[in-house]
Amino acid sequence: MKKGICIALLSLSAFAATKPGDAAKGKDAFDGTCAACHNAESTEPKVGPGLKGLFKKAAMANKKKATDATVLEIINKGTGGSMPPLADQLSDQEKADVIAYLKTL
């Protein structure tokens, strides 16, 4: 348990060390990495849920509120279902950019 907490804290501290997210760059990263499975312009699901209004919802499918930390955790670890972990596929800055983009939806 302590190991998991330490890893989560290290992930968040690395994320916090990046520059603030750039939504325009995040759209590019989303289009290249996420759009095959997620709609950005609607809540209609593809393989995964549509993400329009993600940060405005009371809760995500996992019953957690969408925050930078909870969305980053899903990006990094996946969902254990159809969403694969992307921790090694996106840089910390790209993740910050994608989160900034998701906030615009």
Residue 18: per-residue pLDDT: 75
Element counts in the chain: helices (H) and strands (E)? 4, 0
Residue that has been written with the tokens 């909870």 in this structure? 70
Provide the domain count of the chain: 1
Residue 59: per-residue pLDDT: 96
What CATH number is attached to the domain comprising 73? 1.10.760.10
**Domain span at residue 73?**
2-102
Per-residue pLDDT tens, the chain, 105 aa: give them.
445 544 454 455 555 557 999 999 999 999 999 999 999 999 999 999 999 999 999 999 999 999 999 999 999 999 998 999 999 999 999 999 999 999 999
Residue 17: per-residue pLDDT: 59
User: Contact at 8 Å (CB) between 9 and 73?
Assistant: no
Residue 58: per-residue pLDDT: 96
Angle between helices 68-77 and 2-16 (to 10 degrees): 110
